Amino acid sequence: MIKRRVHVAAAAIFSSDGQQVLLARRPSNVDQGGLWEFPGGKLAPFETGFEALKRELHEELGLTIERAQPLIRVHHEYPNKHVLLDVWQVHGFSGEAYGREGQAVRWVALDELFSYPFPAANLPILRAVMLPTEYLISAEEDDDAVFLTKLERALKEDGVRLVQLRAKRLDEAAYIARAEKALALCREYNVRLLLNAEPELLERVDADGIHLTSDRLMTLERRPIAEGKWLSGSTHDRAQLEQAARIGCDFVTLSPLRTTPTHPDAEPLGWHDFQQLVEPAGMPVFALGGMTRHDANHARAVGAQGIASIRDFWK
Ligand SMILES: Nc1nc2c([nH]c(=O)n2[C@H]2C[C@H](O)[C@@H](COP(=O)(O)OP(=O)(O)OP(=O)(O)O)O2)c(=O)[nH]1
Ligand SMILES: [Mg+2]
């Protein structure tokens, strides 16, 4: 049987405070019926994704889309068809959403999303919706007090919402002590903290997750931490991206986009190769390596979740 290929444009429509997204329930008599979805539908012949998005959201919800940005593209094999979900993040719209086709429509808080039943293809979309566009990787810093001052500045002034604690020079005891302090600060600001450490460390420090180095990533056979925690990994090529998907990483960094002082000998990917790798990854990908916040829009235009950086946030 030759599978039908379906190209769908769908929207993550955010409330003005960014804390809720709009979900719709698929009618019980259609494919994936009764499950919740991001509103949208199939591209008509010769339509672009954005044109289809605008038309579908008007037809289904009575909304007029003003501004949108690509969020993630997800390929999924259902038994009867291959679906490409081309998901956009909608920033500006007018109108009051209602189910014009009789479907239930609901604003849902981001931290309640996982309690809704979605089609199988939607897991990467949920991750992308819940993750910010910037991922701070902490710099080597010998002194805990200096470390905390710089971290707090980034949380307060740059509005960073996702942090990886990277500290290769600290021994285990010093790393744990720093992690506890960093965690207390992150909790104050409602920020997620991932430990760049052995997954077992999560049993001793109750952080939000683990970031795997590419070496650790490649040695694992399965996801090493609970589903309720976040698992990210460092990747540099297709094999590592495939391994990240195999063990169930929630998202990854892909580097180096450019040459950097910390990794002067690594061959940079450049935007072209980066883009080729992102779409098949099937999960949110942060561009890393010489990235600043000025690159975030470009990164998103080529399919990334956003940018990860040490230097741009560490001042
Ligand atoms: N809109 C949307 N579709 C999704 C999501 N997740 C998911 O697997 N799908 C699948 C289900 C369907 O097979 C396909 C969407 O097709 P659809 O039937 O809604 O398309 P449509 O609105 O154009 O429907 P129609 O006018 O052709 O009846 O994508 C999602 O979050 N949103
Ligand atoms: Mg639809």
Distances (CA, A) of 185 to 147, 178, 181, 190, 230: 11, 11, 6, 9, 18
Average pLDDT for 223-239: 97
Tokens 């719709």 appear where? Answer: 24
Judge whether 297 is annotated as a binding position: no
pLDDT digits (tens, 9 = 90+) for 150-204: 999 999 999 999 999 999 999 999 999 999 999 999 999 999 999 999 999 999 9
Any residues with CB less than 8 A from the CB of 311 and at least 6 apart, and which?
A: 139, 260, 292
pLDDT in the model for residue 237: 97
pLDDT in the model for residue 100: 95
Residue 26 CA to ligand 2 centre (angstroms): 8
Judge whether 118 is annotated as a binding position: no
Return left, alpha or beta for 161; rule: phi > 0 is left, psi -120 to 50 is alpha, else beta: alpha
Average pLDDT for 303-307: 98
Position 288 pLDDT exceeds 80: yes
* ipTM topping 0.90: yes
Position 1 pLDDT exceeds 80: no
pLDDT digits (tens, 9 = 90+) for 67-100: 999 999 999 999 999 999 999 999 899 999 999 9
Contact 155, 189 (CB under 8 A): yes
Three-state SS annotation for 300-313: HHCCCCEEEECCCC
- Two tokens, residue 215: 């070496």
Q: Which atom of ligand 1 is nearest to the CA of 26?
A: 19
pLDDT in the model for residue 2: 85
pLDDT in the model for residue 266: 86
* DSSP, residue by residue, 36-49: EE-SEEEPPTT--H
Q: Which of 287, 212, 229 is nearest to 257 (CA)?
A: 287
Judge whether 60 is annotated as a binding position: yes
Position 296 pLDDT exceeds 90: yes
Average pLDDT for 106-110: 97
Ligand 1 pocket (Cβ < 6 Å) reads 6, 8, 10, 30-32, 37-38, 40-42, 83, 85, 119, 121-122
Residue 83 CA to ligand 1 centre (angstroms): 9
Residue 301 CA to ligand 1 centre (angstroms): 23
Tokens 């390929």 appear where? Answer: 75
- Which residue's CA is the closest to the ligand 1 atom numbered 16? 41
What DSSP designation does 282 have?
-
Domains of the chain as residue ranges with CATH? 4-121 (3.90.79.10), 134-309 (3.20.20.70)
Judge whether 251 is annotated as a binding position: no
Judge whether 26 is annotated as a binding position: yes
pLDDT in the model for residue 254: 98
Out of 29, 42, 84, 106, mutate this one to test ligand 1's pocket (max ligand atoms within 8 Å of CB): namely: 42
Q: What is the mean pLDDT of the chain?
A: 96
Position 293 pLDDT exceeds 90: yes
pLDDT in the model for residue 68: 95
Average pLDDT for 257-269: 88
- The closest ligand to the CA of 43 turns out to be 1
Residue 112 CA to ligand 2 centre (angstroms): 22
Listed in sequence order, the DSSP H helices in the chain are 49-61, 123-130, 144-157, 172-188, 214-219, 238-246, 270-281, 296-301
Average pLDDT for 248-255: 98
Distance CA 280, CA 8 (A): 16
Residue 56 CA to ligand 2 centre (angstroms): 7
Q: Which atom of ligand 1 is nearest to the CA of 9?
A: 1
**Percentage of residues in the chain having pLDDT higher than 70:** 100
pLDDT digits (tens, 9 = 90+) for 35-65: 999 999 999 999 999 999 999 999 999 999 9
Position 265 pLDDT exceeds 90: no
DSSP, collapsed to helix, strand or coil, labels residue 22 as strand
